[in-house]
A and B are shown apart, each in its own frame.
Chain A
Amino acid sequence: MLKQLKGITGLAALVALTACGGEGEEENGQEANGNDGQEESNEQSGELTIYSSGPGGMAEELAEAFEEESGIEVDLFQSTTGDVLGRLEGEASNPIADVVALASMPPAMEYKQEGLTYKYESEYAGSMREDWYDEDHHFYGFSAAALGLSYNTDMVDEAPADWDGLLDSEYEDQIAIPDPQESGTARDFVSAFIQQEGDDGWELFEDLTANGLQMEGANTPALESVISGANTFVMAGVDYMVYNNIEDGEPVDIAFPESGTTITPRPAFILESSENKPEAEAYIDFILSDEGQEIVADAYLMPGREDIPAHEDRAQPEDIEMLDFDWEFLDENGQDILEEFLEVVR
């Protein structure tokens, strides 16, 4: 009897759990059926699930403005690129998202290669910046961030004109770089830099390490270490965060070195598995529209369309010197270069 009762308590809990599950199941079942029916009659379900990486406010603002304009109900999962990718990978056998927006190019290219993306030619494709979107119209870099040399303005008046200026012994132990294992943009920068500079590039990294170059976690921790004065410089840090901090009154600024840097377009794409393609297409059009691009510009990111200027307080894309690199090279050699880089810097 004693055991019996214990069993009942436990079972009750389990039943409660599965009961909750049961309800959810029904709802889901109905939804799925509904979708099937609607697809056949080519009607819109009025719902859209978006997985988006940051920056925080911008993703929400875009989703809200889109909801308001289109009347489509948006489910937004907003997190870091890594978490979005992790969730997508976990859901691979049963995808939930319709539209995905990331802060890094290589995954989008990989998704396209694997046939996971859906081709959609937006009316705005023609006015996009060259190389910021896929020529086959599978993904669109609707916004972009450049990597620069961020510095603490209380500690130095001006940043060196080029990367090798950091070799000055004055800056010993004052230089950080986001850990390329944690920051996809820093990883792309290192590869692109090596593609352009070759052995000279490795030499620079070695000399920088001798001058105290330190990996400081992802982008934000690296920048925080400069804001708080623990470091003077972050090399290859993303720019929009710096501009946000300037707006908040923090003593930071960013410079873009002469020998060039990377601009990382942030791709948005529709998943092939999406059951809400009309809504997804409408969303892609929206983020590329004037209104969507203005929201992008307000977040200090560079808009993907040529005819929409970036925020007036930040560097314009035309003024930033680019490294000579191509994404295919990065995709192929990224891992090897990363491993070699880690060996040099550690």
Chain B
Amino acid sequence: MMQFLSERMIHRVNKGAALLALAVLVLFPLLMVLYNGVAPDGEWLGLEAFSVLAEDRYIQIFINSMLLGIGVVIGASILAAPLAYFMARTELRRHRWIDIVLIIPFMTPPYIGAMGWILSMQSGGYAEQLFPFLAGITPYFFTYFGMVLVMSLHLFPFIYLIMRNTLENIGGRLEEAGLIHGGGFFYRLRRIVTPLFFSGYSMGALLVFVKTIGEFGTLVTLGNRIGFYVMTSQIHTYTSIWPLDFGTAAILSTVLLGVSMTVWYIQQWFVSRKHTKVVSGKGQTRAYNPLGKYQVFAWAYLAGVLFLAIGVPYFSVASTAFMDITGDGLALSNLTFSNFIELFAGSGREALFNSLWLAALAATISVALGVWFAILIMKRNRAPEKTMDFLSLAPNTVPGIVVVVGLIFFWNAFWNPIGVYNTWMMLVLTYVILYLPFTVQNIKAIYGQLGDSLFQASRMSGASSFYMLRKILLPLIVPGVLAGWIMTFTISMRELVGSLILRPPNMDTSATFIYSQFEQGSQSLGMAMALVSVGLTTIVLIVVEHYKDKAQSYRAS
């Protein structure tokens, strides 16, 4: 009895600590922003502050945001679904390098991707320089569809990774059962694969939607250029252009937060109706539907996606990086390596190094927190867990700039005794907070597929809790942990908004270096940095993927 009580106590304390940690990391900073919205200059306005939302232009930008979010979810899903299938079920799955290549679009800073597309598609751009006949098509890029295209190409790796993992874990067992009982291909797809698939997919779609409406780089680079204004670009205006109005920015952010919360709730409800436990410890066979000679179509599709997602933007990035005089356009005589030499001779090297260790540290802390939160969240489904789940998702639902402002309010408050602000630790903290959603959701996605049977079996065999943790739980979630680490590392490497504002004096990261080159220096030097930075990230990914493969060797195939 005593034993039981103390274990419950510990569980409670643990849960309380997790809630407190999330409150400190996420809730308080966001509340500080909201408070500034409803009480600018310390004067309480309450709900009156929200009345600005009724203005026509806010309704229009709200609609724009939603349209974009929906468009990108559809676009990214269409891009990702065939790839996920090919990589989970066909001959292509032997080629693990494809996974890494497919993450590159996601590693590319969104504003760089958008910039690459703009440089290609603008009048007199690279596309027209190489293929003059394209001049009739390129203007269509500077519309809503162009924005959906660029953002889908940036975010599809997300949905792809989640789709592929889910498809792999669904395994062949259930499908074989369906086959034995005479179910046809489409019947199996409809009754077995699709329902199981959707729980994972809905999480991916949710993240992409939320990420899109909270995205800032592409929308400011491309959206403002074509007059497609959304919530985030408006918030950006209020937070960085005189006269600053943090109050209205906070109100608009609250709206975004509200939308995200609603979508999240719908997704939760949707998932809770389904039985999704697919990793049960029974012999796993992996479904394998070889394509045979039709492989060529799969490869062609892959090539097409890679051409759009990597080829076009990186052609622009590389061309610009190797270009001596931008105004002279594409020509062999205009080729130079001087930008790279300048990059490594100047302050660029230090900025790059800063990014590397900051991102690695942030990813590691983030993963540790992610495991802690995810396991608690998945244990039960009551109010505290739901709160934790939402809080861990919240940083992804509002534009980074809002989180950043909240972080200043909170961590630089005169009453805050912890002197993290204005040191490098603030950057690590910011990355951890901004990307906590990725680690938590990644680990959750894997953890959610673990059935209870393995734990019950081990308990019956007399295993201690610690033994279960070590021998069953951790090995099974390691892929999710590593996937979370990779994602956090990748995006921390290129994080811009937080780094820009929260970096301590005298410190640059690769993203702020690129940004300041674009703003006040040479675009070519910025692009050179982008290339080197993405290259380095790729190398780190290859190393981690290698370990991830090892960790997954339990899957007999």
Residues from chain A with Cβ under 8 Å of B368 in the complex: 9-10, 12-13
Contact between B14 and A4, CB atoms less than 8 A apart: yes
Q: Which residue of A lies closest to B418 (CB)?
A: A21
Q: Does A203 contact B (CB under 8 A)?
A: no
Q: Does B241 contact A (CB under 8 A)?
A: yes
Q: Does A7 contact B (CB under 8 A)?
A: yes
Contact between B7 and A4, CB atoms less than 8 A apart: yes
Q: In residues 198-230 of chain A, which contact B (Cβ within 8 Å)?
A: 214-218, 220-221, 224-225, 227-230
Q: Does B425 contact A (CB under 8 A)?
A: yes
Contact between A184 and B466, CB atoms less than 8 A apart: no
Give the shortest distance, in Å, between A289 (CB) and chain B (any CB).
23
Give the shortest distance, in Å, between A329 (CB) and chain B (any CB).
15
Contact between B17 and A14, CB atoms less than 8 A apart: yes
Q: In residues 91-122 of chain A, which contact B (Cβ within 8 Å)?
A: 91, 93-94, 96, 104, 106-107, 110
Give the shortest distance, in Å, between B343 (CB) and chain A (any CB).
14
- Bound complex: CA A22 to CA B119 (Å): 47
Q: In residues 415-430 of chain B, which contact A (Cβ within 8 Å)?
A: 417-420, 422-423, 425, 429
- Bound complex: CA A28 to CA B517 (Å): 32
Residues from chain B with Cβ under 8 Å of A9 in the complex: 368, 371-372
Give the shortest distance, in Å, between B358 (CB) and chain A (any CB).
13
Contact between B11 and A3, CB atoms less than 8 A apart: yes
- Bound complex: CA A1 to CA B470 (Å): 12
Contact between B246 and A89, CB atoms less than 8 A apart: yes
Contact between A227 and B327, CB atoms less than 8 A apart: yes
> Number of contacts between A and B (CB, 8 Å)?
220
Give the shortest distance, in Å, between B130 (CB) and chain A (any CB).
14
Residues from chain B with Cβ under 8 Å of A181 in the complex: 224, 237, 241
Residues from chain A with Cβ under 8 Å of B369 in the complex: 10, 13-14
Residues from chain A with Cβ under 8 Å of B501 in the complex: 79, 83, 86-87, 90
Q: CB < 8 Å: which of A6, A28, A50, A229 contacts B124?
A: A229
Q: Does A251 contact B (CB under 8 A)?
A: yes
Q: In residues 202-246 of chain B, which contact A (Cβ within 8 Å)?
A: 220-221, 224-225, 227, 237, 239-244, 246
Q: Which residue of B lies closest to A60 (CB)?
A: B347
Q: CB < 8 Å: which of A83, A85, A106, A250 contacts B326?
A: A250
Q: Does B375 contact A (CB under 8 A)?
A: yes
Give the shortest distance, in Å, between B364 (CB) and chain A (any CB).
9
Contact between B365 and A4, CB atoms less than 8 A apart: no
Q: CB < 8 Å: which of A25, A110, A152 contacts B419?
A: A25
Q: In residues 6-59 of chain A, which contact B (Cβ within 8 Å)?
A: 6-7, 9-14, 16-18, 20-22, 24-29, 49-50, 54-57
Contact indicator per residue, chain B 8-29, by CB within 8 Å of chain A (1) or not (0): 0011011001100100000000
- Bound complex: CA A184 to CA B237 (Å): 11
Given contacts A2-B466, A25-B419, A230-B122, contact A250 B325 (CB under 8 A): yes
Q: CB < 8 Å: which of B324, B417, B517, B521 contacts A25?
A: B417
Q: Which residue of B lies closest to A25 (CB)?
A: B419
Contact between B125 and A4, CB atoms less than 8 A apart: no
Q: Does A131 contact B (CB under 8 A)?
A: no
Give the shortest distance, in Å, between A111 (CB) and chain B (any CB).
11
Q: Which residue of A lies closest to B497 (CB)?
A: A83
Give the shortest distance, in Å, between A126 (CB) and chain B (any CB).
30
Residues from chain A with Cβ under 8 Å of B413 in the complex: 93-94
Q: Which residue of B lies closest to A339 (CB)?
A: B57
Q: Which residue of A lies closest to B121 (CB)?
A: A230
Residues from chain B with Cβ under 8 Å of A11 in the complex: 14, 17
Residues from chain A with Cβ under 8 Å of B511 in the complex: none
Q: CB < 8 Å: which of A1, A13, A225 contacts B464?
A: A1
- Bound complex: CA A220 to CA B7 (Å): 61
Contact between B412 and A27, CB atoms less than 8 A apart: no
Q: CB < 8 Å: which of A1, A13, A18, A87 contacts B466?
A: A1
Q: Which residue of B lies closest to A85 (CB)?
A: B244
- Bound complex: CA A16 to CA B408 (Å): 21
Residue with the greatest number of chain A CB neighbours at <10 A, chosen from B125, B372, B423: B372
Q: Does A61 contact B (CB under 8 A)?
A: no
Contact between A217 and B224, CB atoms less than 8 A apart: yes
- Bound complex: CA A3 to CA B327 (Å): 62
Contact between A83 and B500, CB atoms less than 8 A apart: yes
Contact indicator per residue, chain B 257-298, by CB within 8 Å of chain A (1) or not (0): 000000000000000000000000000000000000000000
Given contacts A10-B372, A86-B240, A86-B501, contact A2 B465 (CB under 8 A): yes
- Bound complex: CA A54 to CA B422 (Å): 20
Q: Does B456 contact A (CB under 8 A)?
A: no
Residues from chain A with Cβ under 8 Å of B405 in the complex: 86, 90
Q: Does A335 contact B (CB under 8 A)?
A: yes
Give the shortest distance, in Å, between B462 (CB) and chain A (any CB).
13
Contact between A228 and B519, CB atoms less than 8 A apart: no
Q: Which residue of B lies closest to A108 (CB)?
A: B242
Q: Which residue of B lies closest to A252 (CB)?
A: B327
Q: CB < 8 Å: which of A10, A17, A28, A335 contacts B17?
A: A10
Q: In residues 67-87 of chain A, which contact B (Cβ within 8 Å)?
A: 75-83, 85-87
- Bound complex: CA A54 to CA B512 (Å): 13
- Bound complex: CA A225 to CA B123 (Å): 9
Residues from chain B with Cβ under 8 Å of A78 in the complex: 516
Q: CB < 8 Å: which of A29, A77, A93, A104 contacts B412?
A: A93
- Bound complex: CA A152 to CA B512 (Å): 29
Contact between B21 and A14, CB atoms less than 8 A apart: yes
Q: Does A179 contact B (CB under 8 A)?
A: yes
Contact between B122 and A228, CB atoms less than 8 A apart: yes
- Bound complex: CA A119 to CA B82 (Å): 66
- Bound complex: CA A93 to CA B422 (Å): 15
Q: Does A164 contact B (CB under 8 A)?
A: no
Contact between B325 and A248, CB atoms less than 8 A apart: yes
Given contacts A7-B372, A224-B523, contact A90 B412 (CB under 8 A): yes
- Bound complex: CA A251 to CA B21 (Å): 55
- Bound complex: CA A56 to CA B376 (Å): 47
Q: Which residue of B lies closest to A27 (CB)?
A: B419
Q: Which residue of B lies closest to A214 (CB)?
A: B225
Residues from chain B with Cβ under 8 Å of A225 in the complex: 122
Contact between B409 and A90, CB atoms less than 8 A apart: yes
Give the shortest distance, in Å, between A256 (CB) and chain B (any CB).
21
Give the shortest distance, in Å, between A84 (CB) and chain B (any CB).
9
Q: In residues 148-180 of chain A, which contact B (Cβ within 8 Å)?
A: 152, 154, 173, 179
- Bound complex: CA A228 to CA B120 (Å): 11
Residues from chain B with Cβ under 8 Å of A6 in the complex: 14, 371-372, 375-376, 469
Q: CB < 8 Å: which of B237, B412, B516 contacts A96?
A: B412
Q: Does A182 contact B (CB under 8 A)?
A: yes
- Bound complex: CA A55 to CA B519 (Å): 9
Given contacts A93-B413, A249-B325, contact A107 B242 (CB under 8 A): yes
Residues of B within 8 A of A (CB): 7, 10-11, 13-14, 17-18, 21, 119, 122-125, 220-221, 224-225, 227, 237, 239-244, 246, 324-329, 365, 368-369, 371-373, 375-376, 379, 401, 404-405, 408-409, 412-414, 417-420, 422-423, 425, 429, 464-466, 468-469, 473, 500-501, 503-506, 512, 516-523
Q: A93-B409, A224-B326, A228-B122 are known; give 10 further A-B pairs, CB within 8 A.
A: A1-B465, A2-B465, A2-B466, A4-B14, A6-B376, A11-B17, A79-B500, A81-B242, A86-B240, A228-B125
10 residue pairs from A and B, CB less than 8 Å apart: A22-B418, A77-B505, A80-B519, A86-B405, A104-B242, A216-B225, A217-B220, A220-B518, A228-B329, A346-B227
